[in-house]
Structure formats: structure tokens, C-alpha cells
Structure 1
Amino acid sequence: MSDEDLLGSLTDTGLYSIGAFFADRHPELCDDVIAEAQAIEDEGLAAWAAAQGSELDAALQTLITGLAVRYYKAVAGTSG
């Protein structure tokens, strides 16, 4: 598989699409959602949700969105 083929396959995923959509619609929130996702990773999903007074499903959505934006930025090579 060539590098071009590999990069093409990386952009053909749901995670990439979620990240691209969020980054396109809410570029001003990308750094915040990535930071929140990192905090969730560090603290644990249930602990973070409890500390934030958030429902577990909302915390999971934040985690997935943050991971998706980070993945999109890594594959697309964007910094902003």
C-alpha cells in the first residue's frame, strides 16, 4: 500500500468524519474539546462526569468528539 493509499484510507473513517465536521462547524471550540477529552482520559470517564455534574453519556460524547478532532487534525495535518 502506498503512502497516498494509506492516507486516503485514514480519511475514509467515521472518526475522521466526526472530527472534520466538528472542526469545520466549531473551529473555535477544537482546543477546548481536545483539552476536555484529555481530562476525561486522565481522570476516567465516570470520575470526570461526576466532577463536572455531567451525565455519563454526555461525557462519552465529549471524549469521542475530542478524540475525533485530534485524529482529524493528525491525519489532515492541521493545527487550527
Structure 2
Amino acid sequence: MIKQTAGQRGRENRRSMEQIWVDEREETLFLWHEMERCQEITRQLEELEREAPTIALREEVRQMKQQVEAIRRVFERQMSSSA
């Protein structure tokens, strides 16, 4: 059996911590990007809502906006919990 030196274990621990930091940073960037996408989709839906020719279409667009907002809040909670 090969024994690890304290230095080898330390390097492995540092690599593990660096990987965790990179993973958390990537997840935060991903969540931030997705939240921005939700905001852009909401802006587009607001434009569609203004242009919708019927009440039924406006209501459908409002429901879509609510769904996108719910998704954005999920991303926001995930980002808060990973911070």
C-alpha cells in the first residue's frame, strides 16, 4: 500500500476546494444568466400583451408571464441558497 505524504494530501485538498469554488462560480453564473433570460422573455411577453388583438390572447400572455416569473424566482432562490 502506498502512503500519501501530508503535502500530497494538502495538494489534493486544495484541488478539491478549487474545484468546488469553480463549480459554485459556474452555477452562480448559470443562474444569473437564466434570470436575465427570464427578464428578457418577460419584456417580450409584455410587448406581445400590448399587441394582442383579443382579450383571450392577452390573458394567455399574462399567464405565460406569471410562469416565467415563477421560474425566475426559482433561479433566484437557488442563487441565494448557493451564496
- TM-score between the two structures when normalised by the length of structure 1: 0.38
Question: Which protein has the larger Cα radius of gyration, Structure 1 or Structure 2?
Answer: 2
- TM-score between the two structures when normalised by the length of structure 2: 0.37
Point out the structure with the larger helix share. 2
